[in-house]
Every structure is written in structure tokens, then in C-alpha cells.
Amino acid sequence: MQAGNARYLKQGDLPETIPIFPLSGALLLPGGQLPLNIFEPRYLMMFDDALAHNRLIGMVQPSYSEQIHSEFCQVGCLGRITSIAETGDGRYITSLTGICRYRLIEEVASHKPYRNFRIAPFISDLTLASEDGGIDRQALLAAFRAYLDANKLEADWDSVERASNMTLVNSVSMMSPFGPAEKQALLEAPDLKTRAETLIAITEIVIAGGDDSDTVLQ
């Protein structure tokens, strides 16, 4: 997996412990780009420390349901800081490039104001570039177009048509305005084909008006 100037090819390229940035409704996927506006002092410190070390941050959602008996969802995505700018008023405008998903193992004690966890990375994500087959691209595009039409939105269809299946599925998943449960289901999909099928199903349900998007999968 290429992220910025770094390549991550094996488990030894990844840290055992990472700082985590909990953010509800935020979805980062391997190969994807997630823009962030950082303003809380503890997270400004987190990004400063990451820039001085390995530039790696773990995105994760806080628990969104009483059925999740932990403070955080157990699966998140590791990202590398690939761009950052100071705003002049104390904030950072930054972007993370997704590397691989991970499972939280246990919290690691730290004197820092942010949280650190030991993780088990999904090593198979590092070779996702070759996972581009088995996608019903026409069904995905049809669902995407129907969603845009229903919400009177536009898209750059030339770019959409040129995108690889992996880029298309992950980009649409990340930009979709669905709730935390839907975003977590897309993150935890075992492969690209399943993620595409999940995305199509959620989109069709929302278009049909059967449920509010925040509660479709709860």
C-alpha cells in the first residue's frame, strides 16, 4: 500500500501501538483520502507527535449503539498524514491517506492527553490494489446516480467512469452521508465486493425512504 511517500508492504512496516482519533460518522478506507479540521488541543498535540514520529493516526468511531459494549468500535483504519496546513488561528487542515484497517486490542498507558492502543492490523489490506474484480459496477453506478438524482446533486461523471472499481467503491463509501452504523458496516465489509453490495443495499433503502439512514442497520 502506497501512502504519500511511504510504502507499507508487510506487518513489520506497521507500528504495534497507535494514537487513535475518535470521530463519529468519519470513514477512512485503505487508499482513501480523509480531510480533517483539527482544533482540540489534545489532537493538535497528537498530530504534532505523529509528524515528529511516523505520521500515523488511527481513525475509529466511538460506540454508536447500546449493543456495542465498549467505548469505541473495535475496527478502525490506520492513516498516514499526507498533507497538513496551519490556518493561522491555531487549527490544522490535514488529510489522511488510508493504509489498512485494524482491530483494537488494548489501551496502552500514556502521559499524553490522547489515547493510545495496541492494534492487530488487517495485513491483507496492504495488497488491496489487486482486488478489483467481482464488482457489479453497473449496479453500483445506477445506485449512485439514483441517489444523486434524488438529492439533486451532481457528479463529475468523466472521472467516475475512469475510476477503478476499488477507487469507486471506497470513494463513494467515504463520501456517502450515511450514519455511523452504515459507515461501520462499510468499513468492516470483508472484501471490496461485499463493500460494494453493502453500499448498493444501503443506498437503495435510503432512496426508497424505508428508514432514516442513521438507523438502517441498527
Highest mean pLDDT among 7-21, 172-186, 195-209: 7-21
Ranges 12-26, 52-66, 81-95: which has the least confidence:
52-66
For residues 98 and 77, is the Cβ–Cβ distance under 8 A?
yes
Cα–Cα distance for residue pair 213/72, rounded to 1 Å:
20
Question: Model confidence at 106, in pLDDT bands (50, 70, 90)?
Answer: very high
- Indicate whether 141 pLDDT > 70: yes
For residues 6 and 164, is the Cβ–Cβ distance under 8 A?
no
**Pick the residue with more confidence: 192 or 120?**
120
pLDDT for 131 equals: 58
Which residues, including other chains, have CB under 8 Å from residue 212's CB and lie 6 or more apart? Answer: 179
For residues 144 and 172, is the Cβ–Cβ distance under 8 A?
yes
Q: What is the DSSP letter of 214?
A: T
Ranges 16-30, 93-107, 126-140: which has the least confidence:
126-140
